[in-house]
Amino acid sequence: MKIAIPDEYQDIVPQMGCYSLLAGHDVTIYREPAADFETLVARLHPADVVVAIRERVAFSRALIERLPNLKMIALVGRNATTIDYAAATEHGVMVSTGKSNAPVAPAELTVALMLAARRNIVLEAERMRRGEWPMTLSHRLRGSTLGIFGLGNIGSLVAEAGAGLGMKILVWGQENSAKRAAERGYAVAASKADFFERSDVLSLHVRLRPDTAGIVGPDDLARMKPTALLINTSRAELIAPGALLASLRAGRPGYAAMDVYEVEPIVGGDHPFLRMPNVVCTPHLGWAEWDNFELYFSETFEQIAAFAAGRPLRLANPTVVPRR
């Protein structure tokens, strides 16, 4: 089979043990994103199978209609908001999914961003590299309030780390978050407004769905302290478009740490956050570590091997009539 793996930014897949599952197939890997839609179509047109690395490529109806050879989208991970499942089903394209949920790596990155941003590590390290000496005062974590918006698998690990650092945990989210908070002895905010007002560090851990897009708006951000830090390692679309940039410029919150963006990848340093000394940015690294990659890609490549052998698949669109 012809297999295409687009947007493999880390250039690491051939070095992973699970890559051997694709032995015998014609695999083409593209590290750099396609410059435009037509280039993307040309790259993917020959493929029987395209490996969708999370949400890096948008498999829109327009793209799927231009890929007559495509029989399977092999998704790395369990779900993606960038695949038109209805279009895939109509065109006989199977969408296989992963089965694991590995929260440790994104939780660790969230804690790392919290420490780096709260103690001005990136800012001062760069100043020292330029030959300057420290010029700022930072904020301690112990005794401050860590707001967890969504106490799920990742949020729970971040809360544990914060509590271990002596932070007071404050929770907001759906009913399940409040229930978990009560079980673990964490405080639950009286309201969404109370949550944003009281948090010294506020970390978003909400799954992106139609009903959660833009769940954080300008009014919420305006309630935050001028010394507060907002961390987003979940999805950029959870925050209303343009709201965080405007709020940072207005001084509430005073700081941000970001791992996700509305348009990715960001190349050439072309993003206003990268020009703000009070913002720490990382390039969507939350899930990007060796154990995670081996886990997620193993599940994906196993599905491709199963497809090649005619075995049953784990499909996101189980009603599809496969294209022949």
Q: How far apart are CA 310 and CA 125, in angstroms?
A: 54
Looking at 91, 235, 299, 302, which residue is catalytic? 235
Task: Give the 3-state secondary structure of residue 72.
Answer: strand
Q: 255-258 and 187-188: which strand pairing?
A: unpaired
Q: What is the DSSP string of 118-177?
A: HTTHHHHHHHHHTT----------TTSEEEEE--SHHHHHHHHHHHHTTPEEEEESSHHH
Residue 141: Cβ within 10 Å count: 20
Residue 123: Cβ within 10 Å count: 19
Q: Are 201 and 255 in contact (CB under 8 A)?
A: no
Looking at 198, 284, 299, 302, which residue is catalytic? 284
Task: Give the 3-state secondary structure of residue 49.
Answer: strand
- Judge whether 205 counts as a catalytic residue: no
Looking at 264, 271, 314, 323, which residue is catalytic? 264
- Nearest alpha carbon to residue 74 among 12, 15, 25: 25
- Judge whether 264 counts as a catalytic residue: yes
- Judge whether 235 counts as a catalytic residue: yes
- Nearest alpha carbon to residue 260 among 55, 37, 31, 58: 55
- Residue 207 main-chain phi, psi, to 5 deg: -70, 135
Q: Are 78 and 97 in contact (CB under 8 A)?
A: yes
Residues with a known catalytic role: 235, 264, 284
